[in-house]
Chain A
Amino acid sequence: MTPAALPAEPAQLLEMYRSMVQIRTFEDTVQKLYEKALVHGSTHLCQGQEAVAVGWAAALTPDDYTSYTYRGHGHALARGMSPEAAFAEILGRSTGVNRGKGGSMHLTDARLGLMGCFAIVGSGLPVAVGLGRGAQLRRETRVSVTFFGDGASNIGAFHESLNLAAIWKAPVIFVCENNLYGEYSRINLTTTVDDIAVRATAYAMPSQIVDGNDVQAVYQAAQTVVERARTGGGPTLVECKTYRQRGHSRSDAGAYRPPEEVTSWLARDPLIITRRQLLDSGSVTSADIAAVDDSVATAIANAAAAAEQAPWPDLAEITRDVHA
């Protein structure tokens, strides 16, 4: 029997809040750096989706594997990547987590279980199956959690991966962050189901729909699903309903989104929801919350400033790491 999942205690919830604010502030800062023409290339920000990254990270141990997409800054930070190394990577500097060779779409760090940031839609899913299958073959208790979008559920790799994980009963957790859009297309234009979760049925896989803007809900669901995978119960498809508050990438203002839709989702901002939960708990005050906001703001500003000062990579990096 899977033990019942418990909500986070106020102290832990405050820590999760801190992590979410860190992601939000980080992303807002990336946008500013981009507007200052300091970011070469593209960025795909995750404002509005912080509760998914943080809720799952809280349910994992450092040994677990995660994989995610070009919209991956939040997932990297939630599992402990230093904001400075992340900023430096996005700015293409030598102190970047991948020494500037990867960029915004490729924040990875194997030491933190961050196994890959995949810029091709769907390509992370089969890799995640391999990570989970490997843990299973080694009789380890690690799980592999892979994050992807609603749009990715229309690509062949999604279906092949669910089927493979299901026949192997591998400890793989497929987390679909349904933010209602794939680039500029609303989900109803590209997908005939409202809930991606129903697609698990075709692979006899359990599935669950979660409020992806409520970090407590995500955390509770994650604990149950992770426990099932750890104890041989096999894969699960979890759909986190959430919203991409900004455009798809860099300068996209997201003008194709109905204003009422944007307003209603902004009212359900995951930070607002968590703040309310913290205050309702009775043991956290507005002053505690303000203190977290301030310390994160300072830390992120310092991290960005340090990254802006960091040196460019050595030209020898161009051909280093192509082969062993």
Chain B
Amino acid sequence: MPDATVTYREALNHALADALAEDPAVVLLGEDIAAAGGSFKVTDGLLARFGPDRVMDTPISETGFLGAAVGLALIGFRPVVEIMFAEFAGVAFDQIVTTAAKHRYLSAGQMHVPMVVRVVGGSGLGFGAQHSQTTESWYTATPGLKVVTAASPQDAYHLLRSAIADPDPVVFIEHKRLYVRRGPFQPTAAPVPIGRAAVVRSGADLTIVASLAMVAESLAAAESLAAAGIDVEVIDIRTLVPMDVDTVVASVSRTARLLVVEEQPLSGGWSGHLVAEVVSRAFESLELPPARMGVVEAPIPFSHALEAKAVPSAETIAARATTLLGR
């Protein structure tokens, strides 16, 4: 049995545990992460293993504990903060986009902020408009932040380790629908650096680029398209800032067709940036105008009947690819 399989949640838990064990500077902060093990149980068992000085429960004070994490980071700690639902970062935006993101620059490199903000995003579980966004765009427009999105247990482990080791603030976006997903897990494999996309399925007819839960949807779409004779390459973009455009350009130079899928409204989404980069660098290799799919331009509706239709799915991705290829 070469690789054990674990869930995405367990992979994150292993990453936090290994980081805590290896580096005494790593500390965790968040609401109900210690005694209760986290609302989504990502930090389960860590308090018992590392104690309350390393794994800290906080009051409902996001500005307070995110700001405190910046202070800890300035003097050499490596805080990892959990934001229970991505939207809760909104009450403390200043500390992320205005303070953490700019402190290295404003101190002309005297200080830096090695912190990770783990935000739990994503739709599909009926949490309604204020608890279901992935929120990448809130961060991608802020120089000074890195934005990481892991889609598999293996990447969740390695990218979180890389984020914790990074000298600068990293917003690490997790998807609540992925927590229960299982996948192969090799903690001793080579690290996954921030800023490197992964080709997760090779194909010759069309390149689909996706992130987070949209990767699995795209892979499922690729399976059904294969049955129809369409050979799809799927790329997990994995990091939005910095973005690995090279891997996408290399793929498009072979497939000549591009579809980008994200779990956000397309206005201001990262797919627009990626498409613009690909077009300006590989215009000649494209046979078709690149296409994008995202969440409808609306808050995520609550009703199951509506929520499922507001977000791209394997079916809608496959349908779009079929139309795109004129099949």
Main SS of the interface on chain B? Answer: loop
Q: How many residues of A contact B (CB 8 A)?
A: 40
Does A267 make an interface contact (CB < 8 A)? no
Choice from A41, A101, A312 contacting B125 with Cβ under 8 Å: A41
Residues in B whose Cβ lies below 8 Å from that of A322? 297-299
Choice from A100, A120, A189 contacting B91 with Cβ under 8 Å: A120
- The stretch that binds B, out of A169-177, A178-186, A301-309, is A178-186
Would you give the shortest CB distance from A16 to chain B, in whole angstroms?
Answer: 31
Would you give the shortest CB distance from A97 to chain B, in whole angstroms?
Answer: 12
Does A237 make an interface contact (CB < 8 A)? no
Q: For the complex, what is the distance from the CA of A122 to the CA of B92, rounded to whole Å?
A: 12
Does A13 make an interface contact (CB < 8 A)? no
Residue of A nearest to B31 (CB): A183
Contact in complex: B306, A315 (CB < 8 Å): yes
Does A201 make an interface contact (CB < 8 A)? no
Contact in complex: B31, A313 (CB < 8 Å): no
Contact in complex: A42, B57 (CB < 8 Å): no
Given contacts A40-B303, A313-B305, is CB(A185)–CB(B128) below 8 Å?
no
Residues in A whose Cβ lies below 8 Å from that of B57? 185, 189-190
Would you give the shortest CB distance from A191 to chain B, in whole angstroms?
Answer: 7
Does A155 make an interface contact (CB < 8 A)? yes
- The stretch that binds B, out of A102-110, A136-144, A220-228, is A102-110
Contact in complex: B306, A42 (CB < 8 Å): no
Contact in complex: B36, A100 (CB < 8 Å): no
Contact in complex: B303, A92 (CB < 8 Å): yes
Does A154 make an interface contact (CB < 8 A)? yes
Q: For the complex, what is the distance from the CA of A199 to the CA of B235, rounded to whole Å?
A: 53
Residue of B nearest to A99 (CB): B303
Residues in B whose Cβ lies below 8 Å from that of A184? 32, 35-36
Contact in complex: B36, A318 (CB < 8 Å): no
Residue of A nearest to B310 (CB): A318
Q: Mark B103-134, 1 if CB is under 8 A from A, else 0.
A: 00000000000000000000001111111000
Contact in complex: A154, B59 (CB < 8 Å): yes
- The stretch that binds A, out of B60-68, B71-79, B242-250, B285-293, is B60-68
Residues in A whose Cβ lies below 8 Å from that of B59? 151, 154, 182, 185, 190-191
Given contacts A317-B301, A318-B306, is CB(A119)–CB(B130) below 8 Å?
yes
Contact in complex: B296, A155 (CB < 8 Å): no
Residues in B whose Cβ lies below 8 Å from that of A191? 59
Would you give the shortest CB distance from A257 to chain B, in whole angstroms?
Answer: 12
Contact in complex: B128, A106 (CB < 8 Å): yes
Residue of B nearest to A151 (CB): B60
Does A273 make an interface contact (CB < 8 A)? no
Contact in complex: B303, A182 (CB < 8 Å): no
Would you give the shortest CB distance from B118 to chain A, in whole angstroms?
Answer: 17
Given contacts A120-B91, A154-B60, is CB(A42)–CB(B305) below 8 Å?
no
Contact in complex: A183, B61 (CB < 8 Å): no
Within 8 A of A (CB), among B217-270: none
Main SS of the interface on chain A? Answer: loop
Does A156 make an interface contact (CB < 8 A)? yes
Does B304 make an interface contact (CB < 8 A)? yes
Q: Mark B205-216, 1 if CB is under 8 A from A, else 0.
A: 000000000000
Does A319 make an interface contact (CB < 8 A)? yes
Q: Mark B137-155, 1 if CB is under 8 A from A, else 0.
A: 0000000000000000000
Does A93 make an interface contact (CB < 8 A)? yes
Residues in A whose Cβ lies below 8 Å from that of B90? 120
Residue of B nearest to A123 (CB): B91
Does A289 make an interface contact (CB < 8 A)? no
Residues in A whose Cβ lies below 8 Å from that of B305? 92, 100, 312-313, 315
Within 8 A of B (CB), among A268-324: 312-313, 315, 317-319, 322
Does B302 make an interface contact (CB < 8 A)? yes
Residue of A nearest to B299 (CB): A322
Does B202 make an interface contact (CB < 8 A)? no
Does B273 make an interface contact (CB < 8 A)? no
Residue of A nearest to B131 (CB): A119
Residues in B whose Cβ lies below 8 Å from that of A318? 296, 298, 301, 306, 309-310
Does B307 make an interface contact (CB < 8 A)? yes
Residues in A whose Cβ lies below 8 Å from that of B296? 318-319
Would you give the shortest CB distance from B199 to chain A, in whole angstroms?
Answer: 33
Q: For the complex, what is the distance from the CA of A101 to the CA of B305, rounded to whole Å?
A: 10
Contact in complex: B303, A100 (CB < 8 Å): yes
Q: Mark B185-205, 1 if CB is under 8 A from A, else 0.
A: 000000000000000000000
Q: Mark A78-98, 1 if CB is under 8 A from B, else 0.
A: 000000000000001100100
Contact in complex: B298, A319 (CB < 8 Å): yes
Given contacts A101-B303, A154-B61, A322-B297, 12 further A-B contacts (CB under 8 A): A100-B302, A106-B130, A106-B302, A119-B130, A120-B87, A120-B88, A123-B91, A155-B63, A185-B36, A191-B59, A317-B306, A322-B298
Chain B: residues with CB nearer than 8 A to chain A?
31-32, 35-36, 39, 57-64, 87-88, 90-91, 125-131, 296-299, 301-307, 309-310
Chain A: residues with CB nearer than 8 A to chain B?
39-42, 92-93, 96, 100-106, 119-123, 151-152, 154-157, 182-185, 189-191, 256, 312-313, 315, 317-319, 322
